[in-house]
């Protein structure tokens, strides 16, 4: 237990450093805008007075270091700034759109893992067979399909064609929960299937790697049957890299969600970001980037902790 507590502290320290860097990177990104961000945001027909007013509102007149200080201070107090166009705090805007994005990501990862783990393991065990070759080919193709295109096709076939699922939208808070989820089926499938390709290939590779290890031979020499060799001795070792790739693909899912939400008209964070970009609503872009990156860092932290549970060798 002491070992885990100690590791926890050390990882927390590392996480804090990365988070600080994330905040800095986000700050820099918005400041690299060529010219005056306020002018860019307001467009060509803005008066100098409007621009000056916005500059003041955004704190752009202050020296850069002071701006940075205020930015950090704001974050620490849970203040991500004010959206220019929505006329509400960025945190409120994000919170209002968190639900569809959260469930979309969750269902996609569940679909992806549910497909990838069994298929990847089986494919590795049956290496070189027809089944394996089909899996290898299919994952290769699936990894080449843009998830938004798959989404468009799913809409065409299952929403427009069959009418089984709604083609777009999500419904408001008054819509029953299950009906809201019904809206998520197609987008989650589109995202999940594309991402399962990556995890499947990785699972297969990790299993193949492990199946060639000496201790697997030891297990066979002990008289363990194939089922035991694969599910006990090999899988627990293979899980170590697989956990990493699942963690990583959550980040990819969030990226995919940005586009998928647009395709399916889901009022999520991705949709918010895209419209913010089109309207040059910098505080919203900034806030969304920060929140998503922070979540990713947190997931990485959890993955690190899982490592400690699975792999006794992790040096602390």
User: For another protein, which is the closer residue by CB, 181 or 297?
Assistant: 297
| Residue 202 is a binding residue for another protein (CB under 8 A) | no
| Residue 53 is a binding residue for another protein (CB under 8 A) | no
| Residue 138 is a binding residue for another protein (CB under 8 A) | no
| Residue 66 is a binding residue for another protein (CB under 8 A) | no
Q: Smallest distance, Å, CB 61 to another protein? A: 19
> Helix/strand/coil (H, E, C) string of the chain?
CHHHHHHHHHHHHHHHHHHHHHHHHHHHHHHCCCCCHHHHHHCCCCCHHHHHHHHHHHCCCCCHHHHHHHHHHHHHCCCCCECCCCCCEHHHHHHHCHHHHHHHHHHHHHHHHHHHHHHHHHHHHCCCCHHHHHHHHHHHHHCCCCHHHHHHHHHHHHHHHCCCCCCCCCCCCCCCHHHHHHHHHHHHHHHHHHHHHHHHHHHHHHHHHHHCCHHHHHHHHCCCCHHHHHHHHHHHHHHHHHHHHHHHHHHHHHHHHHHHHHHHCCCCHHHHHHHHHHCCCHHHHHHHHHHHHHHHHHHHHHHHHHHHHHCCCCCC
User: For another protein, which is the closer residue by CB, 59 or 212?
Assistant: 212
Q: Smallest distance, Å, CB 177 to another protein? A: 27
- Give the contact letters, 153-192, x = binds to another protein (CB under 8 A), - = no: x--x---x--------------------------------
Binding part of the chain for another protein, among 11-19, 67-75, 77-85, 112-120 by CB under 8 A, reads 11-19
Member of 252, 305, 306, 308 binding another protein (CB under 8 A): 252
Q: Smallest distance, Å, CB 153 to another protein? A: 7
Binding part of the chain for another protein, among 47-55, 60-68, 152-160, 174-182 by CB under 8 A, reads 152-160
Q: Smallest distance, Å, CB 246 to another protein? A: 15
Member of 103, 107, 148, 264 binding another protein (CB under 8 A): 148
Binding part of the chain for another protein, among 69-77, 109-117, 176-184, 215-223 by CB under 8 A, reads 215-223
- Give the contact letters, 218-247, x = binds to another protein (CB under 8 A), - = no: xxxxxxxx-------x--xx--x-------
- Report the DSSP beta bridge partners of residue 47: none
């Amino acid at each position: 237990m002491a070992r885990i507590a100690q590791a926890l502290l050390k990882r927390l320290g590392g996480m804090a450093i990365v988070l600080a860097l994330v905040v800095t990177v986000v700050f820099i990104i918005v400041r690299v805008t060529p010219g005056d961000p306020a002018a860019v945001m307001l467009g060509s027909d803005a008066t100098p007075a409007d621009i000056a007013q916005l500059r003041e509102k955004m704190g752009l007149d202050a020296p850069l270091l002071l701006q940075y200080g205020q930015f950090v201070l704001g974050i620490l107090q849970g203040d991500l700034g004010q959206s220019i166009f929505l006329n509400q705090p960025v945190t409120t805007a994000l919170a209002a759109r968190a639900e569809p994005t959260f469930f979309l990501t969750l269902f996609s990862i569940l679909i992806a893992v549910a497909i990838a783990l069994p298929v990847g393991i089986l494919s590795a065990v049956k290496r070189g067979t027809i089944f394996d070759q089909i899996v290898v080919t299919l994952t290769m193709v699936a990894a080449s399909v843009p998830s938004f295109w798959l989404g468009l096709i799913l809409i065409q076939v299952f929403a427009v064609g069959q009418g089984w699922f709604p083609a777009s939208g999500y419904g408001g808070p008054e819509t029953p929960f299950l009906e809201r989820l019904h809206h998520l089926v197609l987008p989650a499938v589109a995202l999940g299937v594309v991402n399962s390709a990556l995890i499947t290939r990785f699972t297969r590779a990790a299993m193949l790697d492990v199946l060639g290890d000496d201790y697997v031979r030891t297990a066979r020499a002990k008289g363990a049957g194939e089922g035991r060799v694969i599910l006990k001795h090999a899988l627990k070792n293979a899980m170590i890299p697989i956990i990493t790739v699942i963690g990583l693909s959550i980040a990819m899912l969030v990226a995919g969600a940005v586009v998928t939400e647009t395709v399916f008209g889901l009022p999520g964070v991705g949709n918010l970001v895209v419209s913010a970009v089109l309207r040059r609503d910098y505080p919203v872009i900034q806030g969304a980037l920060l929140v998503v990156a922070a979540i990713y860092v947190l997931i990485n932290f959890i993955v690190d902790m899982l490592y400690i549970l699975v792999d006794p060798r992790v040096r602390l």
